[in-house]
């Protein structure tokens, strides 16, 4: 038995008529460098959240300063993730990495954690750039 009140599926034909939805743009393909850097940043956001909770528990700074600083770093990391596709975005993200390393002045283990993520960041920049260059060379050689 079929439902006569079910809406008809919309056509993907661009000339389907005035009542059809506009065609969607195809998604932009991300490069390997951008993907690796974004994955690193997502992990860093989690580390910042849990690090803020740990530093707050140690009571080395007032809670407002700890959570305000963590919120500022999270915003900067989100911005860095959005602009990681640009060369200047990689530099911006690198500056944020240095800021996270500076948290070692508050708690030494925060700097150790940040150093691990800086290693991930450097790997993403170098290896991602190599993978993107190899992909460009392969596509240029195929055409």
pLDDT score at 43: 96
Quick: pLDDT tens for 30-75: 899 999 999 999 999 999 999 999 999 999 999 999 999 999 999 9
Mean of pLDDT values over 113-138: 95
Residue 71 CB neighbours (<10 A):
13
Q: What is the token pair recorded at 128? A: 């991602």
**Residue 5 — very low, low, confident or very high, per pLDDT cuts 50/70/90?**
low
* Residue 62, Cβ density class (10 Å: 0-12 exposed, 13-18 middle, ≥19 buried): exposed
pTM exceeding the 0.75 threshold for the entire prediction? yes
Confidence of residue 93 (pLDDT cuts 50, 70, 90): very high
């Amino acid at each position: 038995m079929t439902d006569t009140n079910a809406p008809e599926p919309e056509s993907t034909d661009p000339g389907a008529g005035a009542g059809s939805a506009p065609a969607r743009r195809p998604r932009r393909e991300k490069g390997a460098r951008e993907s690796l850097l974004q994955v690193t940043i997502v992990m860093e956001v989690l580390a910042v959240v849990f690090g803020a909770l740990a530093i707050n528990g140690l009571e080395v700074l007032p809670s407002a300063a700890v959570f305000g600083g963590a919120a500022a770093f999270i915003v900067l990391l989100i911005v860095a993730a959005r602009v990681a596709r640009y060369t200047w975005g990689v530099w911006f993200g690198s500056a944020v990495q240095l800021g996270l390393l500076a948290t070692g002045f508050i708690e030494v283990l925060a700097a150790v954690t940040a150093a691990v993520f800086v290693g991930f960041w450097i790997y993403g920049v170098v290896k991602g750039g190599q993978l993107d260059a190899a992909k460009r060379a392969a596509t240029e050689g195929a055409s």
